[in-house]
Structure 1
Amino acid sequence: MDLNFRSVFESERLIYEAFDSADEDTKKFLYHQMAMDPAVRSLDSIQSFGPLSKTSYYESLNQWKNNLLSVIICLKPDNWDELAGDYRRAEHTKALRGVPIGMMCLATGPASLAHHRRAGLGMSVGVAWQGRGYGTEALRWLVGWTFAYGNMHSLFLQAASFNTKALHAYKKVGFVEDGRQREAIYMAGRWFDVVHMSILEQDWRAQQEAEEKAL
């Protein structure tokens, strides 16, 4: 079996760059495009729905160092094939080599839970880049990384029942609904369910086998 690691951190239209807590430009992007955009924050946070200070948000970013994986989703540059093969180019001195559009992370909890090999998914995509299939593409990449490189057995998530577009994307890449907490989220004067979903390693491997047979 031949192993090709060169394209591990990319997909068809996207590249996945490491989050650097010292990169102020990336932190500003995350704060203004994710934390301060009500349309995004309403979908990825169940905290009290009010403006979030930069200080408190930056403090939460410091916790990303504890994640199994934290990446910034970036648009792949048009000259990526040329750029990726030449590390002398000036683009490689930048914190991010593509335009950032979102973020993803995998949290595994404390070491005392490591033997369960479970990871929780967190993900946000800026409003300007939604509806173009980028989220689904990034999800497929993350699911593959989780099992092929992260050595996890299961990947799970929670989503509000009103986040219908995200729920559709999760199902599209293979997540299965495990259950619901009924009326657990209060938003805009209404109660909504929390939807629990997961995908197991064997589910992903079955998908891979089916796709290979279809070629």
Structure 2
Amino acid sequence: MLFESSRVRLRKMTEEDTELYHKWRNDIEVMQSTNPSLDVYSIEATKEFVDTVILNSPHSKSYIIMDKDNEIPIGIVSLVNMDYKNRNAECIIDIGEKEYWGQGYGSEGLKLLLDFAFYEMNLHRVSLKVFSFNDRAIRLYNRIGFQEEGKSRQSLFRNGDWHDIIHMGLLQKEYFETQIKST
């Protein structure tokens, strides 16, 4: 099935997920390695964001990552800034439930999203941004086939130091080649 792997299932995000997303969005430890601003959001701001950007924008598709065994939502994966004419999108992934970190759930969720992006939507390119100190994510993205395309030097201030934001991209052809090698 397109939206299932051995341990996770993707389901479309709904309005009922707003409070859970709000919890993840305001957890500084969760957002430390993915959100440049580390702002704290009111529930009203989160509701507006979910309504306008996640649920009702023609330029994004967001899915909740579910632990199949326990039917527990553990994170979110999205395609954003979708450019249908040029068949491009940016992807974002957050595992909001910290007890699931480092166990491969994010990898499975991201692979399902990329399968959808490249096989079903026929996108040509998917990009992402990752903070230079997020070694675990960089290793994952490289393993999947993403290539570094550049960086915004010292554009992120975290914990008293400046860090780069690395820009990575993956072409459909490269993804298909990576999938053939892994089978």
Same fold judged by TM-score > 0.5? Answer: yes
- Which amino acid in structure 2 is aligned with residue 115 of structure 1? K
- Which amino acid in structure 2 is aligned with residue 30 of structure 1? Y
SS in 2 for 1:182: strand
Q: RMSD of aligned C-alpha atoms?
A: 1.5
- Counterpart residue number, 1:101: 74
- Counterpart residue number, 1:29: 20
- Which amino acid in structure 1 is aligned with residue 3 of structure 2? F
* Residues in 1 aligned to 2:47 and 2:123: alpha-carbon distance in whole angstroms: 28
- Counterpart residue number, 2:130: 159
Taking only the aligned residue pairs, the percentage that are identical comes to 26
The worse-fitting range, judged by mean Cα deviation, of 194-203 and 159-168 is 159-168
1:197 aligned to which of 165, 168, 172: 168
Unaligned regions of 5+ residues in structure 2, if any?
Answer: none
* Residues in 2 aligned to 1:72 and 1:40: alpha-carbon distance in whole angstroms: 16
**Structure with larger Rg:** 1
Retained in 1: the 8 A contact 2:144–2:178?
no
* Residues in 1 aligned to 2:138 and 2:79: alpha-carbon distance in whole angstroms: 18
- Counterpart residue number, 1:93: none
Structure 1: 4+ residue segments shifted above 4 A? none
The answer to whether structure 1 residue 51 and structure 2 residue 40 are counterparts is yes
SS in 1 for 2:33: helix
* Residues in 2 aligned to 1:51 and 1:68: alpha-carbon distance in whole angstroms: 23
- Which amino acid in structure 1 is aligned with residue 164 of structure 2? D
- Which amino acid in structure 1 is aligned with residue 72 of structure 2? V
Task: Provide TM-score, normalisation by structure 1.
Answer: 0.78
Number of residue-to-residue matches in the alignment = 179
Retained in 1: the 8 A contact 2:3–2:9?
yes
Retained in 2: the 8 A contact 1:180–1:194?
yes
Greater share of strand: 2
